[in-house]
Amino acid sequence: MNTKTMVFGMLFTSISALGIAQQQTDSLKIEQLDEVVITDSKFKLRRENSGKVITKITQKDLDNLQGKSVADIINNTAGIEINGSRSNAGQNLNYFVRGGRNRQVLILIDGVAVTDASQIANDYDLRLLNADQVESIEILKGASSTLYGTGAASAVINIKLKNASKDPITFNLRSSLGTNQSQSDSDYAVENFMNSVSVNGTLQKFTYLASFSHQYTDGLSAVSVGEEADVFNTHNGYLKLGYQFSGHFKIHTYTSFDKFKAEFDDGFDFADAANLSTTNQYRIGISPEFSYKKGSITLNAAYNSIERQIQSSFPTQFEAKSFIGDIFNRYNFNDKFYTVLGLNAQQNEIKSFSIPFGETNFVQDINSDDASFTIIDPYANVVYRSDFGLNVNAGLRLNNHSESGNHLVYSLNPSFKKTFKFGYIKGIASYSTAFIAPSLYQLFEPSYGNINLKPEENRTIEVGTELHIKDRVTVSVVYFNRFEEHFVDFVDQGNFVFQYANIDENFTASGIELVADLKLTKKLKFLANGTYTKVDEDLNLRIPEIKVNAAINYQWNDKTFMSLNYQYNDERDDSFFNNTTFMSETVNLKPFSLVDFYISHKVVHNRMTIFANMNNILNEDYEELFGYSTKGRNVNIGFTLSL
């Protein structure tokens, strides 16, 4: 029996032995029945009545994951692989969900879609976000374009930032330091520093929150054969103001900046290089909400500006701007029938500059007067909850894209819950479609762009079951099948000419997600999830066929918490450019297992907590990306202080 069969079999056997089936919740938490989710309907509904595959990472979970990045935290979720999160801190991140990639994963911040029009995939870079600013995370898997538009094909990650304290003034400080080294390094020098501070509170009807965070990481080379360390340095600032005008009208405004500098090496020769990637992001937004007897009208509007600069043998500069406005009306007819009617509008533009070969000055490649598009989408969603256990969630959206025309997407998500004295059993099913509009780079880049690109289209089918035993167990199993057509690829046109084009071939990704959350005693919990993903050969780059996460959480007493975590990643295929043959070659990366340990202790109740974690305890030597470094055994210690 090979390793991957044994690992996945052990997980399945342990679940089956309990005579249960699983749940669509966070792999790091036993969910309470009164917990609510909003991402699948834009209504606050109890998660037991949801028929979607949702992971919720709460503030309590985040408190037990201090010292980790947002990408690290999400990477423990069933069905998700964030490639690059285990490497040098400045490594580019790839999001693999159900056989999809970055352009098929949509990220929301406080319900507002965030994208980067300067990226080839139009995706948002999670390296820009500091975990200390986050209140909770909801992850909705499956096609969700009916509610969230383009890019919501394999997952929606809704990140909710922290709200102000109810006290007049609260001061929060978090600081940590640790090592940052590969498996061959045993110096254990302090080379990773993370700090954050916030002041927030409520003064009658006025709320405020101001926060600042910083991370500086040194010591680890980007490429595995490198001898020089590549530094990652990031700063984040966030200001949020709110006012409750009356019992019916409230408004929040916010502004933020996120900056990072990441040194990187030569990925063609896999050698040390003095390369630098710099990204500056500025956001400003407003969110008024008017409530009436049976509903509310909400506007989420945000302006986003991103500047990226690459200093290397191929220096480039990008400037991207985007505006998004989403206005929707929520109406509750009778606590059984909920409707959302909305209109979403987006505008994106990009300009870029490069230095032509043999010259010394930047020349504009992409002009924002030409490289822009607008999207206007009306949409509707309906939720029906019956008295006999049937729940139905259905939606419809008409996408109007200035460059790609009109596209209709829809979803149907019935579920049925049977309640017993011991808990409930629920069955779910869904059929949903999604689209991914071509990025501005794919459309307008002068050498490779193609103005005639069609949007990619996705169809996802899900079938699953969930069993919940009160205060003890929640277990679920979900089968998914995702069909993809009009795939946009970088195509060799011959004579060394390449261009982005829709290819005729269709692709399919399918698999099974298992999750088990078991409360063994009042103090001891066992949490596990496993994913089997089967994708067509042309799409399987860096995607593990089997991935398993498991954790044992132990609440020693009211003050001390401990957690032991395990992760297994199956073998993957990767590719690299061979400078000798001038061809891309495929290489197989071996499977690996990681073990982490975390402990926290409350020195002063609700005031001060100290924590420590050790990652990759066994100092596993493995490759996440071919030719690049990965983190060995590392230790991180820190404290949080609230006044």
Does the pLDDT of residue 246 top 90, yes or no? no
Mean pLDDT of the 281-295 span? 94
SS3 66: coil
Does the pLDDT of residue 619 top 70, yes or no? yes
Give 182's contacts (C-beta < 8 A, 6+ positions apart): 220, 221, 224, 629, 630, 631, 632
**Residue 294 · residue 331 · CB < 8 Å:** yes
**Residue 538 · residue 506 · CB < 8 Å:** no
pLDDT, position 493: 81
Q: Is 153 left (phi over 0), alpha (psi -120 to 50) or beta?
A: alpha
Tens digits of per-residue pLDDT, 290-322?
999 999 999 999 999 999 999 999 999 999 999
**Residue 417 · residue 46 · CB < 8 Å:** no
Tens digits of per-residue pLDDT, 520-578?
999 999 999 999 999 988 788 899 999 999 999 999 999 999 999 999 999 999 988 88
- Strand-pair partners of 433: 459
pLDDT, position 34: 53
pLDDT, position 30: 32
Tens digits of per-residue pLDDT, 365-379?
999 889 999 999 999
- Strand-pair partners of 471: none
Mean pLDDT of all residues in the chain?
90
Strands 155-161 and 105-109, how do they pair?
parallel
Mean pLDDT of the 498-516 span? 94
Give 458's contacts (C-beta < 8 A, 6+ positions apart): 100, 104, 143, 153, 154, 433, 434, 435, 436, 482, 483, 484
Percent of the chain exceeding pLDDT 70 equals 95
Structure-token match 């010591």, residue found: 219
Q: Where are the domains of the chain?
A: 3-642
Q: How far is CA 175 from CA 67, 170, 216, 335, 640, in A?
A: 9, 17, 12, 45, 7
pLDDT interval class at 52 (50, 70, 90) = confident
pLDDT, position 21: 33
Does the pLDDT of residue 226 top 80, yes or no? yes
Q: Whole-angstrom Cα distance, residue 501 to residue 172? A: 50
Tens digits of per-residue pLDDT, 132-190?
999 999 999 999 999 999 999 999 999 999 999 999 999 999 999 999 999 999 888 99
Give 576's contacts (C-beta < 8 A, 6+ positions apart): 584, 585, 587, 626, 627
**Residue 343 · residue 377 · CB < 8 Å:** yes
pLDDT, position 35: 67
**Residue 97 · residue 74 · CB < 8 Å:** no
pLDDT interval class at 15 (50, 70, 90) = very low
Does the pLDDT of residue 29 top 60, yes or no? no
Q: How far is CA 376 from CA 119, 149, 158, in A?
A: 21, 10, 21
Structure-token match 């200035």, residue found: 402
3-642 fold: Maltoporin; Chain A (2.40.170)
**Residue 49 · residue 418 · CB < 8 Å:** no
Structure tokens at 640: 């949080």
pLDDT, position 92: 93
Q: Whole-angstrom Cα distance, residue 477 to residue 53? A: 10
The residue count for the chain: 643
Strands 488-494 and 249-266, how do they pair?
unpaired
In terms of Cβ atoms closer than 10 Å to its own Cβ (0-12, 13-18, 19+), residue 46 is middle
Tens digits of per-residue pLDDT, 264-277?
999 888 999 999 99
pLDDT, position 267: 87
Percent of the chain exceeding pLDDT 90 equals 77
Q: Whole-angstrom Cα distance, residue 70 to residue 68? A: 7
pLDDT interval class at 496 (50, 70, 90) = confident
> Smallest Cα–Cα separation from 228: which of 271, 183, 177?
271
pLDDT interval class at 6 (50, 70, 90) = very low
String of DSSP letters for 84-96? TTTS-TT---EEE
Mean pLDDT of the 232-236 span? 96
pLDDT, position 31: 36
